[in-house]
Structure 1
Amino acid sequence: MNLFNLSLKFNGFPIEKAKNLLNSIQKHDENELLNYIETKKQDIVAFHLKHNSFYKTFAKDADPKDWSSIPIMTKRQLQHPLSERLSDGFTKKNVYINKTSGSSGDPFIFAKDKFCHAVTWAGFMDRYSWFHLDFNASKQARFYGIPLNKLGYYKERFKDFLSKRYRFSVFDLSDSELEKNLIIFKNTKFDYINGYTSSIVQFAKYLQRENSVLKMVCPTLKACIVTSEMLFEADKNLLETQFGIPIINEYGAAELGLIAFQNTKNEWIVNTEDLYIEILDKNNMVLPYGEEGRVVVTSLYNKAHPFIRYDLGDIGKLSKESTSNKPILESLVGRTNDIVSLPSGKKAAGLTFYYVTKTVIENNGNVKEFIIEQLKLDTFKISYTSTYQLSEEKLTAIKNAVSKYLEPNLTVLFERKIALERTSRGKLKQFKSFL
């Protein structure tokens, strides 16, 4: 029984119509796709200029035929009551409503019209099919957070039931809990794993300590999809070794849907069907392939709420191998608010600092997780969980690495903790600046 499709239809999301649209777009040749995208860009801007009073005020000088005249939107600019941002004919009763995770520091409630949301789901279904995964039939091991209030908790559990998902805790990553997880895998025919990178990596580290490969415990597993947090190459190698299945990198956002998805050739394919993605410099100019900049996204189908040239708050770059009909996301460097500012005036992505430290302290499996906080311009604090205290020799090695890769004369503090603080949804924010 196609419970997932039926639940979408029951809630007013026309999934079959959305699948047909997706299929028709994917049949376009390169020129047809370029014309389609250009037409949809103009159409969505014209629609909101005519039917959305918020956008009419925000983009008063916008010309749908001149893309450079379209202003960049940020999350902060959207922090108005939702009722003020909805287009004509849309109310809170006839749209899909959700809220962003707040990982950028600027959470807000947003809306999508029901057809737009159906197109989002059609996109996910299409990408998952690349790995022979079916939302209606494949059993998912889900490593996500869950609301702790009663209504939210049972709502998510019901959605899990409809979607053939079993949800594991991301709030308790102790060995005793991870041992219980392993027993569940042994007794359940899971098809794939999906969830937060950091939590799944912790499970893989437990398997490594137990000298266990998950595919041997649960032979039905086909793939593991990680999302919402950075996936480092070393962690990907660990997951592939301890799970024995392909590791798939997914990049998305609640308010937009699927932005990029890794294919069977390990290419991170950008969604060109219902989104338009740009990489911009600090002056809002489009950067050539291979150059790093801000990820800016336009939702081509959301008529309920404008997401037009929307600055997601991420920094990334498209591969030089990209083409107009097959853009490939080469890397995500981090968030624009995760920038390290140093006394010399130098700037670096916060995850650079994280990566430098990671290469030093994780080679023996003692350190389970760590986060980095910038307290002052020249002072950083590394909080970590571990089996035993880091030695003075190891602490000195970390400081030397920081000095070599960033700059000398920085103060690095350390604090060993029983557990690291996660967001209310269970995500681990790996770098935070208090400047």
Structure 2
Amino acid sequence: MERVVITGMGVISPLGNNVETLWRHLIEGKSGITAIDTFDVSNSKTKIAGLVRDFDADALWGRKEARKMDKFCQFAVAAAEEALENSGLELDKIDLERLGVYVGSGIGGIQTLVDNVNLLNDRGPGRVSPSLVPMLISNIAAAQISIRLGAKGASLSPVTACSIGNTAIGEAFRVIRSGEADVIFAGGTEAAVTNISLASFGNATALSTRNDKPALASRPFDVNRDGFIMSEGSGILVLESLNHALNRGAHIYGEVIGYGASSDAYHMVAPHPEGAGAYLAMKNAMYNAGISADEVDVISAHATSTLAGDKAETLAIKKMFDERAYQIPVTANKSMLGHMFGAAGGVEAIALMKTLNEGIIPATINLEQVDPECDLDYVPNVARKAKLTIGLSNSFGFGGHNAVIVLKRFEK
């Protein structure tokens, strides 16, 4: 089997629109959660979100080209372009039939749909865009990236809710490891911070309403957490077989060594109360990686800042690692980024890769009073230096979809 390495990374996020800016803000403990000022939220229960700032699609591709893409697709293409540049891949020197794209989105072009429904109702069917369907379908991000790269290999757009990024990375890992592809761009993207999404999640009482203090609103594992924060962006990684990477002299950031998936088979939106599915996904990932509990140095938690989710994940980690669970640092990027839905896994995988390479674990910020039922080492409020080799990244989604990847600092 081929070893699978990471040779490129790209990010669009509320904490910066490139990997280095994201990383700097993560280790500084900076929150990307702000008041929503991009549309009217005066009647909304929640008025805060993690918004991508300073992103100019017109400047990147020109107005005509940018208007062909919904924002979720724009984010993915921009992140893929950074990942391509970061990887040093020369597309004219590789086999494009063995270059793939695995990029998913949970919701797709929801704003494009809303805009066109409004046009239909206000001005009639003649005003609906003929590009509506190709702009809103969730696979179009993978398609656009494939077209721009000339990638003729496998193209996949997994839809596993908030675990999409890890599903894409994990499935791409499997394909490269089996020898069926040389390189795959993998990750997720989302741009669902819209009025209708805000209303739906708000009516479900899933969102934090700490509107007066946005930076303090996302607080995983804190006893006073009151829901998650919607966020947006994209995270794309370039996965490559080790032999292919070495043959072209690529810089290698790290290695994907394991992937595990599972289903809670329990409830449409609630996690299994004992974290059974999360435990099984971690167990499968570690078995797939061929590692023991003693070899895991850090865990990047899903940790959305919901009462049920944080507790269930804590229970799953305890079941997986027994007494050693109390010795493993657990970090929650969503305390700073908010919940990026389909983009979360890709962005958090990039953050974990930086964590392993730099030997710095980003803090879980806003952890002021730990929930007694969440009693692990969550790296509270201040980033921590540590000697690290292997990390787990957890992602769980509505419907009980669970996906866990295992990353390792690269060693020849």
TM-score class, shorter-chain normalisation, is under 0.3
Larger-gyration structure (1/2) = 1
TM-score between the two structures when normalised by the length of structure 2: 0.27
Larger helix fraction of residues: 2
TM-score between the two structures when normalised by the length of structure 1: 0.26
